[in-house]
Structure 1
Amino acid sequence: MIRHKNFYGLLLVLVFSLILPAVVQAHPAVYHGKHYQAGVTLLQQGKITQAIHELEHAVLQSPQGAYLRKLAEAYEANGQYQKAADTYYREAQVHLKRGDTDAYLVVKGKGDALSSEIQLFVQEDGTYAKPQNLAKYEPSAGLYIGAFVEYDKNVGPKNVKAFNQITGKNHAIYYTYHEYGNPFPVNWAAQVKAAGAAIQLSLEPNKGLDIVQDNAYLREFARNAKQAGVPIFLRFASEMNGNWVAWNGNPAKYIEKFRLVSQVMKEEAPNVAMVWAPNSVPQKEITKYYPGDQWVDWVGINLYSVCFFNGDPNQPADTVNPLDLLDFVYKEYADQKPIMVAEYGATHYSTAGNLDATRFAVTKMNMLYQGVRMLYPRVKAIHWYSVNNLEKAHSADRRLNNFSLTENQKVLEAYKKMISDPYFLSQVQNGPFVTDDGGAKLKISPLAGMTVSSNGQIKGLGWVKTYDPYISKVVYKLDNKYLSESYQYPFGFTLDAGKLTSGKHVITAVAFDSKGREAARKDFIFNIK
C-alpha cells in the first residue's frame, strides 16, 4: 500500500510538472488586458508613474498598437520625451506592418515631434574638384536662393531687383505661375534675366491634361523659352498628388503628358530643366506620378510651415519640423536627381487664433535652410513664397497666413542674416547661358571621427532638434571646459585648432529647451594631427 501511495504521489507530481509551464506561459495572455485597463485608469487619475508601470507590463506581454499608444502618452505626460518618441515609433511600425500607411505617418509624426537629435559638422572653405555626373544647372555645392515676389506689395510686379535690394543679396532664381495655353512670358523672363537670375516657371494645365498636346502652341512656347537666353526650371503640373488640382487623379495620363512636354523641351529648348514637384502631402500618392529618370532633371517638392493644421487653432503644428516634410522625397529620389524646394513659406501671422508668429517663422526658416546644408546636401535650391495670403490668396479658405518676408522686419532681418552665408548661392551654374563653372567653394562634413589639421580655425555647425521647437541655446564644451554657446540654427561654434594638442579631443553639445531645462546632450570625438 505504501508503494501504491508513492506511485500516485509521483504521478501527481509528474502531471503538475507538465501542466505548470503551460499555466505560467498562459499567465501573460490572461493579464496584459488587466495591466492595460489599470494603466488607463491610473493615467486618468493623474497617477502617471504608476500608470507607466502597468502599461509597460501590458506592452511587454502584448505590444499591440493601443497599448503602445497609451504608454507613449504616459511617457509624454511624465516628461520622458525620448521614451515617448521611441514608443510612438514602435506603434507606427505596427500600423505599417498592417498596411495602414495613413496611420503610420500620423503616429510617426508624433514620434518625430518628440524625438531629440544632435549632430555636429565642420564647414571647410576652399576650392574643391567639381563632382562628376551633375545634373543640368546643379551646383557642385551650396544652394540656390529663390523667391516668388510678384504679389509682394513692397516689391511690386516685374521688379525682382527691388527684392534683391531689400534682402541685401541677389537671388539666383525667381519664379511665377503660368497658365498652360498662354504664350511664354517673354517680358517677365527678360526682367528676371536683367537682374542676373534664372527663372522657375510653374506651368499649370488648369483646364485639364487633355489640352497638353505636341502642337504649335507647345513648340512655340519651347522655342521662346530658348530665345529667352536664360536658365529655365520648368515645373510642369506640380502638386499632382493633391486632389485640389485639375491634373490629379490619373497617374498614367499625367506621366504621358509630362513626358510629352519633356521631350519637346529636349528637342527645342536645351536651356530648360524639367522639374517634377509633388506636394509634401498626401505622401502615399507621390510615387505613382513619377515620370521616370529620363524625363526629369530635378525633383522638387512644395511644403509650408504653418502654426495650425487646417487653420484650426485646436490643432497646433508648431512641433512640425520642415525637414520631416522633405524627408520622404529626398530619400526616394536624391540618389538620382538634385532636389529643390520649389515653394516654401513660414507664416509670421495666422488668422487662426489671431497669432503673431514671428518666432515661429524665424525658427522654421532656419530649421529648413540651415538644416538641409547639414543633413540633405543634395537639396540645391529653396524658393520662398513671399506673399501675404490674407490679401492675395485665390480663395477665402486660404486667407489664413502671411508669408511675406517684407511685411515683418524681424523675419526679414533673420532672412538677410541667414542668406548672407556663402553657402547660399546668387547665381545659377553648370548649364546653357551661364558663366560660372560650378566649382565647389566649400565642403561640409560630419565632425564625429574627423581628423583635423592643426592649422587655422574650425567652423562648426550644429543640427539640434528636441521635443521643444524653440531651443533657447546650445552650449558647447571642449574637453569638458566651456567653449561657447549659440542661440539659433545653425548653432555655430569655432575652434582654434592651432591651440589644441595633437590627438583625441571631445566636444560636448548641450541643448536647452525654451524654459532653460537641459533637453539633450551628446559627445563628439575628433582628432588633431
Structure 2
Amino acid sequence: MMYSGKFVKVFGRMTCALVVIAMMMTMANVVEVQALNVWGLVSEAQKLEKKKDYTGAIAKYKQAAAEFAVQKEYGNATNMYRRIGDNYVLLKRYDDAVASWDLESSYANKAGQTQVSLAAKRKADMLRSTAQLFIETNAAAAGGANDHGAKYEPKNGALLGAYAELDPVVHNPANGSPFYTTGFPELTGKKHAAYLLYFTYGKPFSNLKHHVSQAVQNGTALQLGLQPMKGLSEVKDDAYLRGLAREIGEAGIPVFLRFANEMNGDWVPWHGDPKAYIEKFRLVTKVFKEEAPDNVVMVWSPDRLPEHNINDYYPGDAYVDWVGVSLYSIFNPAFDPLKQGEDRSSHVEKFDYIYKQYAARKPIFISEGGVAYMYPEKKQDKTDWAVYKTKEFYATLPMLYPKVKGVFWFDSNHDSSNRIKYYMLSANKKLLDAYKISIANPFYLGAIGEESPVAYKRISGAAVAAGKQKMSAYVKTWSPTLAKVTYEIGGRNVGTAVSLPWTVHVDFTPYRGKKIEVIVKAYNNQNKLVTTQRVPVTVTN
C-alpha cells in the first residue's frame, strides 16, 4: 500500500507518541513494582521476626531502609532502622543496635520528627560502649588551658559545695549547733568551699544574717539562689534591688549570685518569656556590678533539661560570669532499651550539652545535684547503683570536663510534688562513704583561692610520653555498673583495675616512637566481659 508523504509523517508522529506513552506506562509500572517490592521486603522481614530469624529479618529491613532513603521517604527509613536496632538487641549485638538507632535518629531528624530523633539517640546512648584514656599530670603542665580568668575561678580544680541546711545531722536551725558550715565538713571529712542557700526576691537580706556570719567565721562562700517567686515583673531597678545588692556587697564573703535558675523548665514562675528573662537578668547584673562589684559573680544556671530552649534564655557573655546547671539522677528504668528494669544512663554525661555550648567561654558550675539512692515510685533501694554513679561522676569529671570549676551536692531528702527525692548523705552510710572517697581527690578544692595540684591529659587518639604513666579511663557500656577493667598492649596484659576510675601504672618505654593500640576490656559484677574497646595511642620519644 502506498501512503502520501503527509500521512507517513502523521503516522510517524503518532507512532512516536504511542512509544513514549508506552514507555511512561512501563516506567510507572516499574515504580509501582519497586514500591510493592519494598513493602514486600518489609512483609518478609516481619514474617522472619515471627520465626525468630532475627538475622534474616535484619537483612530484609536493611534493603527496605536503603530503598526508602533513596526515595527520600525518611519517615519509613526511620521505622526500618528502629526495627533493625530492636532485632540486634534480641541477638545481643548491642554495638550494632547502637549504630542502627543512630541512623534512626538521623533519618527521624530529616523527617522532622524531633521527639522520635531524641528518643532514638537516648536509646543509643544508653547502650553505647566507649573507652577514653587519660594520664594524670601535674597542674603546671596543664597551665591555663582550662582557665577563663573569671573571679573566684581556680585555674585547675573544682570548688566543693553543698546545700546542707535541711540535713538534721549537720544543721540545727533552732540553736545553730551544729551549723552546716562546720557540721557538713565533719560528716564528709573535708572542708567545702561554698554552700547554697535559696532566697526569695523581695525578702530582707537580714533574714540570712546568721548564715553570712557563719560563712565569714568559717571562710566559706555562699551560692545565693535569688528567686522571683511572684514572677519577673517584680524585678525592677528600684530601692529594694539596689539595697539588696549593697547589703550583699557588704557581706564580706564571696557570693555566687544565681538569679532565677532553671528558667528553661516550666516548673518555675519565671519560665516562658525568654526576652523578658534576658532583660531582667541583664538588669540584675547591671545593678550588682554597680553596687557590689568586688565580691559578687553572676551565675546563669538552667536545668540540664529540656535542652531545646536553653540557649533562648542566655543573657549574653557580658552579663554572665559563670554558667551553672542543675544535675540530678533518680533511678528510672522506663527508658531501658533492653527492657530489663535497669537505668543505663550516665550521670556524668547528662550535662554534656551545656558543657559543649558554654565551657569554652565560661567556667561551668554544677550549681546543685546528686544521685538518689531510692527509686521513689517503687520505694526500692538503689544504693549500689547510686554509689557507682556517684563514684563515677566525681572520678570522671576531672578527666572529661576539666572546665567544671564548682560542684554542689544537694544534701537533702525532700518532698516535691508528692515525690520524695533521696540525696541525704547522713541517711545512707554507703552513699556517704562513696562521697567521702570521691571528694578526697585533690582535684576537689575546699576553699576559694586553692588550686588543684593535679590535672589530666587525654591520650585516646593522641600522644603519651614514653615512660611510666598513671593511666585512668572512662569506660561506659550497656552494663549500668562495671567491676573490673583490664588493659592489653601487643597481646600482653599491662594492668588490671577493680575500682573507679580504673587506674593502673603503665610503662610506655617499650613502645617509644610507635603507634599502638591499648585494648580495654570491661567486666560486669558477674565477671562477664561486656565490651572490648581498641584505643589508638601514639607513644612519643
Residue from 118, 126, 133 that aligns with 1:105: 118
* 2:434 alignment partner AA: A
* SS in structure 2 of the partner of residue 240 of structure 1: coil
- Cα distance in 1, alignment partners of residues 194 and 297 from structure 2: 13
Cα deviation digits, residues 299-333 of structure 1 (max 9, x gap): 11112111127999x99561111234211111111
Are the equivalent residues in 2 in contact too, given 1:177–1:201 (CA < 8 A)?
Answer: yes
1:209 aligned onto 2:209: no
**In the alignment, what sits opposite 2:465?**
452
Are the equivalent residues in 2 in contact too, given 1:513–1:519 (CA < 8 A)?
Answer: no
* SS in structure 1 of the partner of residue 456 of structure 2: strand
* SS in structure 2 of the partner of residue 278 of structure 1: coil
* SS in structure 2 of the partner of residue 214 of structure 1: coil
Closer, same or farther: CA 30–143 of 1 in aligned 2, 3 Å:
same
1:259 aligned onto 2:282: yes
**In the alignment, what sits opposite 2:181?**
160
* SS in structure 2 of the partner of residue 384 of structure 1: strand
**In the alignment, what sits opposite 2:191?**
170
Structure-to-structure mapping, 1:20-169, within 5 angstroms: 28-63=34-69, 64-128=77-141, 129-130=143-144, 133-157=148-172, 158-169=179-190
Q: Which moved further from structure 2: 215-224 or 112-121?
A: 215-224
- Cα distance in 2, alignment partners of residues 137 and 98 from structure 1: 46
Shift of 1:476: 1.5
Shift of 1:28: 4.6
Closer, same or farther: CA 471–315 of 1 in aligned 2, 3 Å:
closer
TM score, norm. by length of structure 1: 0.87
Shift of 1:141: 1.2
Cα deviation digits, residues 349-390 of structure 1 (max 9, x gap): 12322211111111222333233222222122121111112x
Structure 2: any 5+ residue segments left out of the alignment? 1-20, 70-76, 173-178
Structure-to-structure mapping, 1:429-440, within 5 angstroms: 429=449, 436=450
1:331 aligned onto 2:351: no
* SS in structure 1 of the partner of residue 170 of structure 2: coil
* SS in structure 1 of the partner of residue 63 of structure 2: helix
1:182 aligned onto 2:195: no
- Cα distance in 1, alignment partners of residues 297 and 394 from structure 2: 23
- Cα distance in 1, alignment partners of residues 95 and 334 from structure 2: 27
- Cα distance in 2, alignment partners of residues 276 and 341 from structure 1: 11
- Cα distance in 2, alignment partners of residues 28 and 342 from structure 1: 56
* SS in structure 2 of the partner of residue 283 of structure 1: coil
Cα deviation digits, residues 17-64 of structure 1 (max 9, x gap): 999999878765332222223323433443322222222222222241
* SS in structure 2 of the partner of residue 127 of structure 1: helix
Cα deviation digits, residues 82-125 of structure 1 (max 9, x gap): 11111111111222223333332222101101111111011102
* 2:454 alignment partner AA: L
* 1:491 alignment partner AA: W
1:380 aligned onto 2:405: yes
Closer, same or farther: CA 228–325 of 1 in aligned 2, 3 Å:
same
Asked which structure has the greater CA Rg, the reply is 2
The aligned length equals: 500
Shift of 1:405: 1.5
* SS in structure 2 of the partner of residue 511 of structure 1: strand
Structure-to-structure mapping, 1:351-366, within 5 angstroms: 351-366=376-391
- Cα distance in 2, alignment partners of residues 309 and 84 from structure 1: 19
**In the alignment, what sits opposite 1:273?**
297
* SS in structure 2 of the partner of residue 50 of structure 1: helix
Closer, same or farther: CA 406–87 of 1 in aligned 2, 3 Å:
same
1:517 aligned onto 2:529: yes
- Cα distance in 1, alignment partners of residues 168 and 48 from structure 2: 56
Shift of 1:339: 1.1
**In the alignment, what sits opposite 1:11?**
none
* SS in structure 2 of the partner of residue 323 of structure 1: coil
Shift of 1:508: 2.2
Task: Give aligned-pair identity as a percent.
Answer: 34
- Cα distance in 2, alignment partners of residues 300 and 127 from structure 1: 26
Are the equivalent residues in 2 in contact too, given 1:308–1:315 (CA < 8 A)?
Answer: no
Report the RMSD for the aligned CA atoms in angstroms.
2.8
Closer, same or farther: CA 305–315 of 1 in aligned 2, 3 Å:
farther
* 1:441 alignment partner AA: P
